[in-house]
Chains A and B, each alone.
Chain A
Amino acid sequence: MGQGERYYRTELAIIGSGLAGFAASVFALARGIASAQVGNTGAVAYTTGYLDLLGSCRGLWLDDPWQGLELLRESEPRHPLSRIGRTAIQAAFDQFSGALTEMGVGYTAPAERNHLALTPAGTVKPTLSVPQTMLPGIEARKAGVRTLIIDILGLQGFSAKEFVANIRSSWPQLSTAKLSFPDMESGGQVFPEVMARALEVSSHRERFAERIKAALGDARLVGMPAIMGIHHPDRVHAELQRLVGVPLFEIPTMPPAVPGIRLREMFEQGFPAKGLTLVPQQKVKRLVLEAGRATLYLQDSFGEVMIESKAAILASGRFLSGGLTAERGGVREALLDIPVTQPESRADWYRQDYFDPLGHPVNRSGVEVDSSFRPLGPDGEPVNHRLFAAGILLAHHDWVRQRCGAGVAIASAHKAVEAVADMLKEQ
């Protein structure tokens, strides 16, 4: 080892710090598998905070995602979710949402039915597990409770009037108010993350609660953009409710949004304490697979980092995260050039209509895996018996149209970690 090199040895190396990567770490830690995780944690900060299992199948919204999975198995047998048993998927969701709750961001336990979660546009979407701070709004819409929706002076991309104008047909009893946030009253731009951190301080909470109360009118509930704290959202939520005197709820905002930032910071701080080696900002430059080991090579400003492991899970995402790259001639997997299933030519990547309910063929491109979720090489055989793949990098799904982003990530991570555990046991 030369100067400035750092070297880690572990059982499992997880490449990727999106939902799939973090889910893999949750499952590996639970099984006592020593793990190291790398990749930019910014990927989780994009999410709305909702954990979708499956919201749409054959173009129809799903009330019952479990029944939806049955339909999916029939119509799309190669879909990643069709290749994982229901019990395993349920266990994965239970364990993952439970871990989030335990680590400080309360999530609802997955149930038999999808929630109809609220979006900042005033539309709704089916999802399985939601942050506790968002649940009261979902229930209030169902019950038609008289509710005040507030937005905040200087907060872009979130308008209470927009929310109300679009959701009014299914939730008529709404009013709106625009509040200024304490000490951010200039009218200039304000940011959700900054307000969320401010609300962790009691004096800010008190002043903000006063302003909400003044605007309450005859509303029995208050909805607002997601700004109720970063590290202890449930505590901030409870405190604000006590101060205002009525139940409150959060509505997601456009990224970078607080619900994702919460997950990122929680993982970054909570996992190392549980024994995970987390190298959060660097990309793996090279992955070398040899007879007895998989070695990851990274580079940061202090020099080279090497991680040697017995197994590796590739959870490097798609184009946005750099797991896949798109050249004029075709789509490629970025790290090992693993074959990517894809449409024949670039002219077939997208349909003409951006919002075509069928989604776009290129979204279904990705890597193929065997029954143990090992990626397949050009010969149709696993690239290496130590290499597994998870997350939206996999082929044959369209997580955006099917509302199954977290579902694919969590369930496939669970499957891959199980396979890793089996492999490690055999040795």
Chain B
Amino acid sequence: MVSGIETFETEVLIIGGGVTGTGVMRDLALRGIHCLLIDRRDLNAGASGGNHGLLHSGGRYAASDSETAAECRQEGDILRQVAPDCIDDCGGMFIAVEGDDPGFAERFPGYCEAAGIDCESLSPAQAREREPALSDKLFAAYAIPDATVDPFRLTLENVNHAQQLTDSLFLPHTAVESFEIANGVITGVLCRNTKTGGMRRILVRQVVNAAGAWSMDVARRAGCSDVSLLYSKGTLIISNTRITDRVINRLRPPGDGDILVPGGTVSLLGTTSDNVDDLEDIRPTVAEVERVLIEGTAMLPCLEGTRFIRAFSGVRPLLLPAQNTADGRSASRGFTLFDHRDQGLENFATVTGGKLTTFRLMAEKTGDLVARRLGNSRPCKTATEPLPSGNAVRWTEPGFAPRFWYRRNDPTDMILCECEMVPQSAIDSIIESAPGAESEMTLQAIGVRSRVGKGSCQGSFCSIRVTSHLYDRGVYDSARGLHSMRDFLSGRFKGVQPILWGEQMPQIELSEALHCSLMGLDRLDGKANDPEKEGSG
């Protein structure tokens, strides 16, 4: 496509559709600034879609990094005020079991005090009364104000609000390839539309690199060598039911499988931490799942017999101070904002590292820098301005869809995803107006914006029903709908494969029969689906 370059123009281009990039987008929009947000895949395609969802009280970092711990506590308090719909303020506990260091357990309240974190000492009996699933080998326990947060909802609401405020725009599947730089100023950014293969040129005044673990790569494309990251892969597993009411942390220096976080109707156990060199094809493995499970079982013996429906992995971008060769867990969890002036660029900023819990603060610091550079003197408003909720961004919350459906009581609004009770109307509102909605929206994109495929059948049945619905509505009129279903199922399988045993085996056997024997999705490509041309040789 020589003449087919699409051109866009914006005040600020933000690269990376995770919590940080979308947080910056909303921060700037609240200052009246127009932004264009791009992601090479989709919203939450990186760590923001592959994390534990723990709104840290700071307890976990209290011993090693009281500054980060205090930052978590403060940000947690702010988010409880401005984004209550995204948060389950369930509380948390730190517990030590036989074999853990009693000295660490004794020092823990002191660490919390130093970081300003409330910490209530519980007797083992009290702890087990609150959380009956805890091991009877427990010898120390503290209650701390942990909570959980839905990163999908945060991201969607950030984008939704920015769109409302300044007509800011989100473009999915748009990957930065190169920068057009003149006299220390980036004037344009060339991107590849990864869906069509076409090129997009974005004319800009400011550029924010919020590409998470990929921010080092993006910075290098702009000629900046100052961002140095360590990649730490973490793997988690999701149970079929909610195992505890509260977040359960192991009372010891961070290790594998030592946090269980409730997420609505399920629980998430994790995580591992392994350095990786490559960011492509990150997937959970059987060995990682075993490690997490064995460690988790020490805190919660019932995990031995728990049904798990899925595993997933994310990569933490950990900032590496020069010459630091520390392993993943002890590298800095704080974030850094690079203004890149010493790299000879005046309108480029990179924000990376940090946590989901501190994304708002990261966005504020970035927003301050970018606004100043644009000559905009309006202050950051995200600490006080609540996130508004919109019709098309409500569907990621577990339990919302069934509540909505019962209240609405319309039998013609059929349930398409039975595990999570997602009705047709939810799909319709997502394809019409969710952030990033477009023609021929893929099942994967619908999945990011809803609970479709997240229940115990992991999309086996609902992918078929939703696809039929999309064809019926005219969203698809070619074989691309089936390809989209196949891609969605392949993607889900990455997370399903390492937890296949027990009750998941009948499920996957039925899925394979449905998807291959009934639908023929394993034979969609080319002549394989045209047996007449093949003969039997």
A residues near B (Cβ < 8 Å) are 46, 48, 52, 57, 59-64, 67-68, 71, 114, 116, 119-126, 151, 154, 156-159, 161-162, 165-166, 170, 178, 186-189, 252, 254-255, 318-320, 322, 324-328, 345-347, 349-350, 352-355, 357, 360, 362-363, 400-401, 403, 405
Q: Which of B468, B497, B519 contacts A119 (CB 8 A)?
A: B519
Tell me, rounded to whole Å, the shortest Cβ–Cβ distance linking A69 to chain B: 10
Do B464 and A157 touch across chains, with their CB atoms under 8 A apart? yes
Do B536 and A124 touch across chains, with their CB atoms under 8 A apart? no
Q: Which residues of chain A are within 8 angstroms of B286 by Cβ–Cβ distance?
A: 345-347
Output the nearest chain A residue to B285 by Cβ-Cβ distance: A347
B322 within 8 A of A: no
CA separation between A126 and B468, bound complex, in Å?
A: 23
Q: Which of A116, A178, A324, A354 contacts B531 (CB 8 A)?
A: A116
Output the nearest chain A residue to B528 by Cβ-Cβ distance: A61
Q: Which of B487-514 contact A (CB under 8 A)?
A: 489-490, 492-494, 497, 500-502, 505-506, 508-510, 512-514
B469 within 8 A of A: yes
CA separation between A104 and B461, bound complex, in Å?
A: 31
**A355 and B518 in contact, given A170-B530, A347-B285 (Cβ under 8 angstroms):** no
Q: Which residues of chain B are within 8 angstroms of A350 by Cβ–Cβ distance?
A: 497, 500
**A188 and B482 in contact, given A123-B520, A347-B285 (Cβ under 8 angstroms):** no
**A165 and B471 in contact, given A350-B497, A350-B500 (Cβ under 8 angstroms):** yes
B479 within 8 A of A: yes
Tell me, rounded to whole Å, the shortest Cβ–Cβ distance linking B403 to chain A: 20
Interface SS of B by simple majority: helix
Q: Which residues of chain A are within 8 angstroms of B518 by Cβ–Cβ distance?
A: 48, 119-121, 252, 254-255
Output the nearest chain B residue to A345 by Cβ-Cβ distance: B286
Q: Which of B83-91, B180-188, B411-419 is the interface stretch? A: B411-419
B535 within 8 A of A: yes
Q: Which of A124, A189, A345, A346 contacts B520 (CB 8 A)?
A: A124
Q: Which residues of chain A are within 8 angstroms of B415 by Cβ–Cβ distance?
A: 189
Provide the B284-298 mask, 1 if CB < 8 A to any CB of A, else 0: 011100100000000
Q: Which residues of chain A are within 8 angstroms of B493 by Cβ–Cβ distance?
A: 353-354
Q: Which residues of chain B are within 8 angstroms of A123 by Cβ–Cβ distance?
A: 482, 519-521, 523-524, 529
Do A157 and B468 touch across chains, with their CB atoms under 8 A apart? yes
Do B532 and A63 touch across chains, with their CB atoms under 8 A apart? yes
B516 within 8 A of A: yes
Do B502 and A327 touch across chains, with their CB atoms under 8 A apart? yes
CA separation between A68 and B287, bound complex, in Å?
A: 39
Provide the B462-489 mask, 1 if CB < 8 A to any CB of A, else 0: 0011011101101011110110001001
Do B529 and A355 touch across chains, with their CB atoms under 8 A apart? no
Do A400 and B536 touch across chains, with their CB atoms under 8 A apart? no
Do A162 and B529 touch across chains, with their CB atoms under 8 A apart? no
Tell me, rounded to whole Å, the shortest Cβ–Cβ distance linking B284 to chain A: 11
Do A119 and B520 touch across chains, with their CB atoms under 8 A apart? yes
**A355 and B522 in contact, given A162-B476, A400-B516 (Cβ under 8 angstroms):** yes
B537 within 8 A of A: yes
Do B535 and A63 touch across chains, with their CB atoms under 8 A apart? yes
Known pairs A355-B522, A405-B517 / 11 extra A-B pairs, C-beta < 8 Å: A121-B519, A123-B521, A162-B472, A165-B471, A170-B530, A186-B412, A188-B412, A328-B290, A350-B500, A354-B489, A363-B512
Tell me, rounded to whole Å, the shortest Cβ–Cβ distance linking A12 to chain B: 28
**A159 and B536 in contact, given A119-B520, A165-B476, A170-B530 (Cβ under 8 angstroms):** no
**A186 and B411 in contact, given A158-B468, A347-B285 (Cβ under 8 angstroms):** yes
Provide the B154-167 mask, 1 if CB < 8 A to any CB of A, else 0: 00000000000000
Q: Which residues of chain A are within 8 angstroms of B287 by Cβ–Cβ distance?
A: 347
15 pairs across A/B with beta carbons < 8 Å?
A: A62-B536, A67-B536, A124-B520, A162-B467, A165-B477, A166-B482, A189-B414, A255-B514, A320-B506, A322-B506, A355-B522, A400-B512, A400-B516, A405-B513, A405-B517
Do B479 and A401 touch across chains, with their CB atoms under 8 A apart? no
B residues near A (Cβ < 8 Å) are 283, 285-287, 290, 411-412, 414-416, 461, 464-465, 467-469, 471-472, 474, 476-479, 481-482, 486, 489-490, 492-494, 497, 500-502, 505-506, 508-510, 512-524, 528-532, 534-537
Do B472 and A124 touch across chains, with their CB atoms under 8 A apart? no
Tell me, rounded to whole Å, the shortest Cβ–Cβ distance linking B308 to chain A: 11
Q: Which of A120, A403, A405 contacts B519 (CB 8 A)?
A: A120
Do B531 and A165 touch across chains, with their CB atoms under 8 A apart? no
CA separation between A320 and B506, bound complex, in Å?
A: 4
Q: Which residues of chain B are within 8 angstroms of A161 by Cβ–Cβ distance?
A: 471-472, 474, 477
Q: Which residues of chain A are within 8 angstroms of B520 by Cβ–Cβ distance?
A: 119, 121, 123-125
Do B465 and A157 touch across chains, with their CB atoms under 8 A apart? yes
Tell me, rounded to whole Å, the shortest Cβ–Cβ distance linking A321 to chain B: 8
Do B534 and A60 touch across chains, with their CB atoms under 8 A apart? yes
Q: Which residues of chain B are within 8 angstroms of A255 by Cβ–Cβ distance?
A: 514, 518
CA separation between A162 and B473, bound complex, in Å?
A: 10
CA separation between A325 and B502, bound complex, in Å?
A: 7
Do B519 and A156 touch across chains, with their CB atoms under 8 A apart? no
**A156 and B414 in contact, given A46-B513, A121-B519 (Cβ under 8 angstroms):** yes
Tell me, rounded to whole Å, the shortest Cβ–Cβ distance linking A404 to chain B: 10
Output the nearest chain B residue to A257 by Cβ-Cβ distance: B518
CA separation between A116 and B287, bound complex, in Å?
A: 42
CA separation between A177 and B48, bound complex, in Å?
A: 43
Do B531 and A254 touch across chains, with their CB atoms under 8 A apart? no
Q: Which residues of chain A are within 8 angstroms of B516 by Cβ–Cβ distance?
A: 355, 400-401
Q: Which residues of chain A are within 8 angstroms of B492 by Cβ–Cβ distance?
A: 354
Do A166 and B479 touch across chains, with their CB atoms under 8 A apart? yes
Q: Which residues of chain A are within 8 angstroms of B521 by Cβ–Cβ distance?
A: 121, 123, 355
CA separation between A52 and B513, bound complex, in Å?
A: 13
Q: Which of A60, A121, A170, A178 contacts B536 (CB 8 A)?
A: A60
CA separation between A189 and B531, bound complex, in Å?
A: 36
Q: Which residues of chain B are within 8 angstroms of A156 by Cβ–Cβ distance?
A: 414, 416, 465, 468-469
Q: Which residues of chain B are within 8 angstroms of A362 by Cβ–Cβ distance?
A: 500
Tell me, rounded to whole Å, the shortest Cβ–Cβ distance linking B187 to chain A: 42
Top 4 A-B pairs ranked by shortest CB distance? Answer: A61-B531, A123-B520, A187-B412, A354-B493
CA separation between A311 and B531, bound complex, in Å?
A: 42
Tell me, rounded to whole Å, the shortest Cβ–Cβ distance linking B198 to chain A: 24
Q: Which of B500, B510, B532 contacts A349 (CB 8 A)?
A: B500
Output the nearest chain A residue to B520 by Cβ-Cβ distance: A123
Q: Which of B494, B497, B514, B523 contacts A254 (CB 8 A)?
A: B514
Q: Which residues of chain B are within 8 angstroms of A353 by Cβ–Cβ distance?
A: 490, 493
Do A63 and B534 touch across chains, with their CB atoms under 8 A apart? yes
Tell me, rounded to whole Å, the shortest Cβ–Cβ distance linking A45 to chain B: 12
**A357 and B522 in contact, given A62-B536, A116-B532, A124-B531 (Cβ under 8 angstroms):** yes
